Amino acid sequence: MSEAKKSKAQVFGARLFSTVLLAVIVSATFFSGNAWAFMGLIAFLSIASSLEYFRMTKLGEIPSMQKWGVTLSALYAISVSIVFAREGVFGYATVHYLDTVFISILVLGAFIWQLRKAVDGMKPLIEVATTVLGFIYIPILFGFVAKLCFLPGLVQFKANMPEVPGAWLVLWVVAVTKCTDIGAYCTGTLIGKNKMIPHISPGKTWEGFYGSIVISLGVGCALYAWKAQELAIFGGWTHVIILGVLLPLLTVVGDLAESVIKRSLSVKDSGNTLPGIGGALDLIDSICFTAPVAFLYLMWFV
């Protein structure tokens, strides 16, 4: 009994420590307003998540080009971060070029590597597909967070803009995304009865799903009401409400996407980058889905 209590205490202590440390790092980065700090944190999370993804493929005994995938993922994340940190809003053209170059090198290199030996059934194709998926899923999709950091400057450039003009926009997207998870957990725990998708995530309920939308939408509206000037890129309440409903839907999909990967690989956790909480991929899985859509929506419709 004492061992069990001790174990629970240790888990709680580790979770508390990781939560406080993460909150301090994120807060310090946000309030610094420094582009290098923002890009450094984004690059770190991207690289850590990529390492966890390829580690899971290895544990699940699924063929993948682990070294090739991790190397290119890290180089891409670092390259994008350096470009944006140095050039700010003027770095979009270069980053677009990097997207094309890295994806091309990844695919070409993956197939060229397969030519060194005879084809072994489906293994070469699975190896290439798993590696390409890992690169697109994490560094490319999560890289949209970096693009959001400077989007207001791209859409409505003004003199004397902050070093990271999209800092509040990123905070809005992350807050709405994370409050979806919190809202789903709280509502589901209190009144959840009807299972949403038990064959993938047994704990999710429809009550939690609806509750998460209400809570995340409320948080998004509250942030906009509080910082309307910093979030002027929304152009009004209509787009705030649309994204306030759309992003929670994508958050659920992003969370379930990682669940699909874990179940396919028979792996329980993506990693232990944040003791007591889980891996970095657990932290950003939903953001990998919400950040690209938020970026594209604001680019196309606002």
Per-domain boundaries in the chain? 2-301
Please give the Cα distance from 200 to 260 (Å, whole number).
7
How does the average pLDDT of the chain come out, rounded? 89
Q: Confidence band (pLDDT; 50, 70, 90) for 5?
A: very low
Q: Is the pLDDT of residue 180 over 60?
A: yes
Give this prediction's pTM.
0.91
For the segment 117-158, what is each residue's pLDDT rounded down to a tens digit? Answer: 888 889 999 999 999 999 999 999 999 999 999 999 888 777
Packing angle, helices 123-135 and 66-87, rounded to 10: 20
Please give the Cα distance from 208 to 248 (Å, whole number).
12
For the segment 7-62, what is each residue's pLDDT rounded down to a tens digit? Answer: 666 666 776 777 788 889 999 999 999 999 999 999 999 999 999 999 999 999 99
- Mean pLDDT value of segment 187-215: 80
- Mean pLDDT value of segment 263-279: 80
Q: Is the pLDDT of residue 269 over 50?
A: yes
The pair phi, psi for residue 64, each rounded to 5°, is -155, 155
pLDDT value for 7: 61
pLDDT value for 3: 37
SS3 label, residue 196: strand
* CA-wise closest residue to 280 among 14, 49, 53: 49
CB contact set of 96 (below 8 Å; sequence gap of 6+): none
pLDDT value for 11: 64
Query: Hey, what are 195's tokens?
Result: 């299972």
C-alpha distance across the termini of the chain, in Å? 58
pLDDT value for 204: 78
For the segment 70-98, what is each residue's pLDDT rounded down to a tens digit? Answer: 999 999 999 999 999 999 999 999 999 99
Q: Is the pLDDT of residue 6 over 60?
A: no
E strand intervals along the chain: 195-197, 201-205
pLDDT value for 154: 87
pLDDT value for 12: 60
Q: Is the pLDDT of residue 1 over 90?
A: no
Please give the Cα distance from 48 to 28 (Å, whole number).
20
